[in-house]
Amino acid sequence: MGAKRSARSRLLASPVRLPVALLAFTLVYGTAGFMVLEGFGFVDALYMTVTTLTTVGFGEIKPLGTGGRVFTLSLIVIGVVALFSLLAVLTSLVASGQLGRSFLRRSMRQRIDGLRDHYIVCAFGRVGRSAVADLTAEGAEVVVVEVDASKEDELAAAGVPFIIDDPTREEVLERAGIARAKGLLCAVDSDATNVYITLLARARNPDLFIIARASSPESVEALQRAGSDRVVSPYRLSGARMAALALRPAMLEFVDMVSVAPELRIEELVVSNRSPLVDASVRGACAPYEGVMILAVRSPDGQLLVPPRAETVLKANDLLIVVGPQGALSRLAEQAG
């Protein structure tokens, strides 16, 4: 599919297009006129046209006849109109900030084109904004697709690459690098829109990890059928958290502490086929790393051990949920990979 300009890009280009076309016509008009009326060669005719339009005053190549002088007057009038029209349009664009935004978007396109294994967040509302903050805090690359142009300044302040366009359009997802992305977060307020984005994304990248927001319980199944790997309901999560705080406050305090502690992390790791952790026990895998604990082991067939016994033997493609200091987890991740 060829890349197409958005309607907004066309609106930005259209004020400039007419004066630029008029200026180009003036150059052609002047060059052709001097060649026909005065018998100048192409270079001399172009030189006369440019010096006339720029009013640098180098003088005539040779004395002009009456027809040549009348033609020069018409060239000056047309040229002044073209130059002042272009200057007025450029001044308006600079004053309104559109020119600066145009350059910003071009820079964003270049940044996005260079990304690999990034996350695409559709919508920069309350949910999307929070997700972007957490992803960037973990060092992940993020691209935001937001249809509301009024949020452009806020997105620019956030410092993440973004696209102001409709995420339900396939070519917009292509521009966001959907084929190269690692994950997609559908955080649009409309469940129907999230379903449609999920369908488009899954068709374009079957290996993409998709997380979708569901405002109503009825939409969860629809999102799962559309291809979402995980479905999150903010209202249900809020209610479950409030109930857990009422029943088990100490447990949630521990989880929150792990989430915000600068050195303590909970991570998930996958044991690769060539990892030295294959056939190692849980105790043996954790022993070299002080403070590391394996909380759960999920085998490729879906069997989950929570918590695993110290003698549990790790196999290739096992998924590990581990907790510990960030530095130790980074070294363990290298061993697992």
Instruction: Name the residue range of residue 13's domain.
Output: 7-96
% of the chain at pLDDT higher than 90:
31
- Which range has highest mean pLDDT (58-67, 203-212, 296-305)? 203-212
- Taking alpha carbons only, the member of 329, 334, 337, 333 closest to residue 289 is 329
Amino acid at position 279, single letter: D
Do residues 145 and 197 both lie within one domain?
yes
Residue 271 inside a domain? The answer is: yes
Residue 247 inside a domain? The answer is: no
Q: What is the pTM of this model?
A: 0.59
Do residues 269 and 320 both lie within one domain?
yes
pLDDT by residue (tens digit) across 76-94? 888 888 888 888 877 776 6
Do residues 132 and 220 both lie within one domain?
yes
CA dist list (Å): 213 to 6, 20, 158: 27, 47, 22
Helix, strand, or coil here: 323?
strand
Reported confidence tier of residue 307, pLDDT bands at 50, 70, 90: confident
Instruction: Answer whether 296's CB lies under 8 Å from 266's CB.
Output: no
Q: Which of 96, 123, 139 is the last residue of a domain?
A: 96
Rounded CA-CA distance 277/299 in Å is 14
pLDDT by residue (tens digit) across 216-252? 888 888 999 999 999 988 777 777 778 777 777 776 6
Do residues 215 and 282 both lie within one domain?
no
Res. 309: pLDDT tops 50: yes
Mean pLDDT computed over 66-76: 85
Do residues 82 and 41 both lie within one domain?
yes
Rounded CA-CA distance 252/240 in Å is 12
Radius of gyration of the chain (CA): 31
pLDDT by residue (tens digit) across 33-50? 889 888 888 998 888 888
Q: Read off the CATH number of the domain in which 122 is found.
A: 3.40.50.720
Q: How many separate domains does the chain show?
A: 3
Do residues 60 and 124 both lie within one domain?
no
Do residues 20 and 74 both lie within one domain?
yes
Rounded CA-CA distance 272/265 in Å is 21
Do residues 47 and 119 both lie within one domain?
no
Q: Read off the CATH number of the domain in which 314 is found.
A: 3.30.70.1450
Amino acid at position 268, single letter: E
Q: Read off the CATH number of the domain in which 68 is found.
A: 1.10.287.70
Residue 2 inside a domain? The answer is: no
Residue 302 inside a domain? The answer is: yes
Do residues 224 and 141 both lie within one domain?
yes
Res. 182: pLDDT tops 90: yes
Residue 17 inside a domain? The answer is: yes
| pLDDT value, residue 249 | 75
Looking at beta carbons, which pairs linking 87-96 to residues 24 or more positions away fall under 8 Å? 88/19, 89/15, 89/16, 89/19, 90/16, 92/15, 93/12, 93/15, 93/16
Q: Evaluate the CA torsion angle 153, 158, 164, 165 in order and state its sign.
A: negative
Check residue 165 and report its DSSP letter. Answer: S
Do residues 79 and 125 both lie within one domain?
no
Do residues 222 and 285 both lie within one domain?
no
Residue 243 inside a domain? The answer is: no
Rounded CA-CA distance 264/322 in Å is 11
